[in-house]
Amino acid sequence: MDQHIPVTVLDDLSAGHAGSVSGADLVIGDMGDEALLDRLFGQHAFDAVMHFASFIQVGESIGAPAKYFHNNVSKTINLLNSMARHDVKNFIFSSTAAIFGNPQAGHIDEHHVKAPINPYGRSKLIVEQMLPDYEAAYGIRHACLRYFNAAGAHPDGSLGERHDPETHLIPLAISAALGNTGGLKVFGDDYPTHDGTCIRDYVHVCDLASAHLLALQHLRAQGESLKLNLGNGEGYSVKQILDAVAALVGKPVPHTVAGRRAGDPAVLVADSRKARDVLGWQPAYSSLDDIVGHALRFYQATPMASAH
């Protein structure tokens, strides 16, 4: 596969970091700005759009659905409309396990009922549901890639996740173990799991990146539109994560146990066989040591990142 694909990144830097972009042009702007989109699509002969831009905080979305539907749905419509006007035919969309809501099976495959329980998840499902109509009318084929818990960092520690506020368990645990932040809260230790804490599916960001390249290759080869669940297939409990972080940092993770959070299912694990079958996707970094170890390398190389 040609790994040297020219890329233009459009980001309004509402949550992103200009310094995280290398080897690509960065245009700072809003994906809802149709004049800007028309100019960019007019200037470049793009053949595909990978759409990662979104507000991502589940809790915030419950109190501010308007903000989430405006950014994640309305502005995505602007983006798709501009693609249609400029004849850009391939669309790869960052979707999420949150479209499924409360799981009704151990491993969640693509047929699982879609019943999001918060506006964030609903905003992603709405976009997924619009895409077949954009395909039928304008010929824009899509790959919806539903990440479970994105985690890890570039193996050399040069690039990792920097959210503010940080809500993801692995960076929070690393930050607490390194003494950069106070102890973290474990929400519930009385779930029906082997150690009482919630089990989630952590998928390495580089494996997500390789799935995007395979999806691009698939669409460019006129493959049919896809909706794929992307996970490690292996669930890890909150306690297992804290133990892995403690072992790699060499210090315990300070934490307290708080009550369960509303809407947190006990187990959320992907069945990703379809991605493996259709795209030939093979995650390279499935072990917790890789996922946590690479994240730790990033936070050690970028101390400011773990201070949030």
Ligand X SMILES: NC(=O)c1ccc[n+]([C@@H]2O[C@H](COP(=O)([O-])OP(=O)(O)OC[C@H]3O[C@@H](n4cnc5c(N)ncnc54)[C@H](O)[C@@H]3O)[C@@H](O)[C@H]2O)c1
Closer by beta carbon to ligand X, 72 or else 197: 72
Tell me if residue 120 is catalytic. Answer: yes
Q: Which has the closest alpha carbon to 68: 125, 16, 120, 14?
A: 120
* Residue with the CB atom nearest ligand X in the bound state: 16
Site membership for ligand X, residue 232 (CB under 6 A): no
Shortest distance in whole angstroms from residue 252 CB to ligand X: 25
Letters for 256-295 (x = contact with ligand X by CB under 6 A, - = none) are: ----------------------------------------
Count the Cβ atoms, other than its own, within 10 Å of residue 139. 11
* 143 touches 219 (CB < 8 A): yes
- Residue among 120, 134, 147, 191 flagged as catalytic: 120
Q: Is residue 170 within 8 Å of residue 244, measured between CB atoms?
A: no
Contact track, ligand X, 66-95, x by CB under 6 A: -----x---x------------------x-
Residue 115's alpha-carbon distances to 104, 126, 289, in angstroms, are 11, 11, 33
Q: How far is the CB of 208 from ligand X (least distance, A)?
A: 8
What is the CA 204 to chain-centroid distance, rounded? 10
Q: Taking CB under 6 A as the rule, does residue 230 contact ligand X?
A: no
Write out the two tokens for 145.
Answer: 């890639």
Residue 91 Cβ, how far from ligand X at the closest point, in Å?
A: 13
Please state, in angstroms and rounded to a whole number, the distance separating the CA atoms of residues 246 and 255: 12
Strand partners, 146: 95, 229
* Interface with ligand X, residue 131, by CB under 6 A: no
Q: Pick the binder of ligand X from 5, 7, 13, 105 (CB under 6 A).
A: 13
DSSP state of 74: I
What single DSSP character describes residue 224? P
Interface with ligand X includes 147 (CB under 6 A)? Answer: yes
243 CB-near residues (< 8 Å, 6+ apart): none
- Neighbour count for residue 210 (Cβ, 10 Å): 18
Where in 33-72 is the site for ligand X (CB under 6 A)? 52-54, 56, 71
**Which stretch in 108-116, 146-154, 181-189, 257-265 sits in contact with ligand X by CB under 6 A?**
146-154
By the rule CB under 6 A, 135 interacts with ligand X: no
Question: What three-state secondary structure class fits 171?
Answer: helix
Which C-beta is closer to ligand X: that of 15 or that of 117? 15
User: Is residue 16 close enough to count as binding ligand X by CB under 6 A?
Assistant: yes
Q: Is 197 in the site for ligand X (CB under 6 A)?
A: no
The answer to whether residue 12 forms part of the interface with ligand X (CB under 6 A) is yes
Residues contacting 228, CB < 8 A, separation 6+: 110, 143, 144, 145, 146, 211, 215, 272, 274, 275, 278, 279
What is the closest distance, in whole angstroms, from the C-beta atom of residue 15 to ligand X in the complex? 4
| Residues annotated catalytic, as ranges | 120
| Contacting residues toward ligand X, per CB under 6 A | 10-16, 30-32, 52-54, 56, 71, 75, 94, 96, 147, 149-150, 163
